[in-house]
């Protein structure tokens, strides 16, 4: 089905006038005036060199004026730090940005998270616009208002809930994304099908080849449905006191796998793919879903070019890491398990032996 490519709008509905649009399409960046409804008189564009060389000029053109200052930060997770955050604040102060300024984050989740935290705290909060340029950022990190930097002792330990004024997602930027980064983003797309929409999951099964070719219509549909699901969950539970936890499907296993492999073997989305396969196998072992459904998820992940088994992890150590996860409750591991393809529940009563077995079965 042909998609409207020139700018579809979704809304993240939040109370107190804090709701915001997600503008989604193909060929959006560079459109004169695109950003103007969402920014004030001053703008600080935050990006990194790799993204800026490709897309900064188009974003400047979308601003319609010359008024933007620019700060480029280092590329990669190791720059998601307080030092980088301070660099952004220094730029805001040096260029005398007032409370009316807007921070525009152009990049993947790293740029979005650190620029978002700077926007949340500069003069107690200024405008923020997210222009996500990775698939993961378009379907996940740019929507929902979590901003953060890492601390030497752990990821995302310092941050704030802070919602943007708008998210602008142009799927054309995804054509320059390295293949491995792109496929890692597909893991999060598959996640939305599993947690909330069996029809979307079936569409992903039909459309995986088109998605791997990065066809704009398929991408628009995948990003739109992912954002709709995320927006709906966030609107219901902005600060993760309940339902928002379903977005962590595969993540408790995934985070432990990342930690156990020193954050170097797997990209986040790859670890989440392995984690989702483990969570599905565990769900089948507990009799919550049929083996055939766990197999269906595993097959789709493999077709997306994602790993479904982990190399170099040990079940007991991984289980211990999961117990230390900041989302564990009273030492009990909170897990999101499948009730079916398209529905999950948060649980805290899975016996450790069963979790360990799922890890061992998913380790090579």
Ligand X SMILES: NC(=O)c1ccc[n+]([C@@H]2O[C@H](COP(=O)([O-])OP(=O)(O)OC[C@H]3O[C@@H](n4cnc5c(N)ncnc54)[C@H](O)[C@@H]3O)[C@@H](O)[C@H]2O)c1
Interacting residue ranges for ligand X, rule: CB under 6 A: 48, 50-51, 54, 75-77, 80, 107-111, 113, 133-134, 136-137, 140-141, 144, 146, 156, 173, 176-177, 181, 268
Active-site residue 248, yes or no?
A: yes
Rounded to a whole number of angstroms, the minimum distance from the CB of residue 247 to ligand X is 8
CB distance 106 to 59 below 8 Å: yes
Q: Which is nearer to ligand X, 249 or 289 (CB)?
A: 249
Q: Which is nearer to ligand X, 62 or 134 (CB)?
A: 134
Please give the residue whose beta carbon sits closest to ligand X in the complex.
109
Active-site residue 78, yes or no?
A: no
For every residue of 342-363, which 3-state class applies, written as one string?
CEEEEECCCCHHHHHHHHHHCE
Instruction: For residues 29 and 190, give the distance between their C-alpha atoms in angstroms, rounded to a whole number.
Output: 26
For residue 357, what are its two tokens? 């077995």
Catalytic residue among 244, 281, 296, 334: 244
Active-site residue 230, yes or no?
A: yes
Ramachandran bin of 262, using left for φ above 0, alpha for ψ from -120 to 50, beta for the remaining angles: left
Paired strand residues for 103: 44, 128
Instruction: For residues 195 and 209, give the distance between their C-alpha atoms in angstroms, rounded to a whole number.
Output: 22
Active-site residue 239, yes or no?
A: no
Catalytic residue among 124, 206, 213, 326: 124
Active-site residue 60, yes or no?
A: no
Active-site residue 255, yes or no?
A: yes
Instruction: For residues 254 and 268, give the distance between their C-alpha atoms in angstroms, rounded to a whole number.
Output: 7
Rounded to a whole number of angstroms, the minimum distance from the CB of residue 148 to ligand X is 7
Rounded to a whole number of angstroms, the minimum distance from the CB of residue 230 to ligand X is 9
Instruction: For residues 145 and 116, give the distance between their C-alpha atoms in angstroms, rounded to a whole number.
Output: 8
**Phi and psi angles of residue 312, each rounded to the nearest 5 degrees, phi first:** 80, 30
Catalytic residue among 224, 230, 296, 334: 230
Rounded to a whole number of angstroms, the minimum distance from the CB of residue 277 to ligand X is 19
Active-site residue 188, yes or no?
A: yes
Active-site amino acid positions? 124, 146, 188, 230, 240, 244, 248, 251, 255, 268
């Amino acid at each position: 089905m042909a998609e409207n490519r020139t700018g579809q709008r979704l809304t993240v509905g939040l109370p107190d006038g804090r709701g915001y649009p997600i503008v989604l399409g193909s060929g959006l960046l560079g459109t004169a005036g695109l950003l103007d409804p969402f920014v004030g008189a001053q703008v600080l564009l935050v990006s990194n060199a790799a993204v800026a060389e490709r897309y900064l000029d188009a974003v400047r053109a979308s601003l319609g004026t010359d008024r933007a200052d620019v700060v480029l930060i280092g590329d990669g997770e190791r720059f998601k730090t307080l030092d980088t955050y301070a660099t952004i604040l220094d730029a805001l102060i040096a260029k005398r940005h007032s409370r009316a300024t807007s921070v525009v984050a152009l990049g993947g989740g790293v740029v979005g998270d650190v620029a978002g935290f700077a926007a949340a705290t500069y003069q107690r909060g200024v405008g923020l616009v997210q222009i996500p340029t990775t698939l993961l950022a378009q379907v996940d990190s740019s929507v929902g208002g979590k901003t953060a930097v890492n601390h030497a002792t752990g990821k995302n330990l310092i941050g704030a809930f802070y919602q943007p004024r708008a998210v602008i997602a142009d799927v054309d930027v995804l054509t320059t994304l390295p293949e491995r980064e792109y496929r890692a983003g597909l893991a999060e797309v598959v996640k939305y099908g599993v947690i909330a929409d069996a029809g979307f999951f079936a569409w992903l099964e039909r459309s995986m080849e088109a998605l791997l070719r990065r066809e704009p219509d398929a991408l628009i549909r995948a990003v739109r449905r992912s954002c709709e699901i995320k927006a709906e969950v966030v609107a219901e539970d902005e600060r993760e006191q309940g339902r928002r936890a379903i977005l962590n499907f595969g993540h408790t296993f995934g985070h432990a796998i990342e930690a156990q492999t020193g954050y170097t073997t797997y990209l986040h989305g790859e670890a989440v793919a392995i984690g989702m396969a483990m969570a599905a196998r565990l769900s089948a072992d507990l009799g919550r879903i049929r083996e055939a459904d766990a197999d269906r998820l595993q097959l789709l992940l493999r077709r997306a070019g994602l790993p479904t088994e982990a190399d170099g992890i040990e079940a007991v150590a991984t289980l211990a890491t999961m117990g230390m996860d900041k989302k564990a409750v009273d030492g009990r591991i909170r897990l999101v398990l499948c009730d079916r393809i398209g529905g999950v529940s948060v649980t805290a009563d899975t016996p450790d032996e069963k979790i360990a077995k799922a890890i061992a079965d998913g380790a090579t």
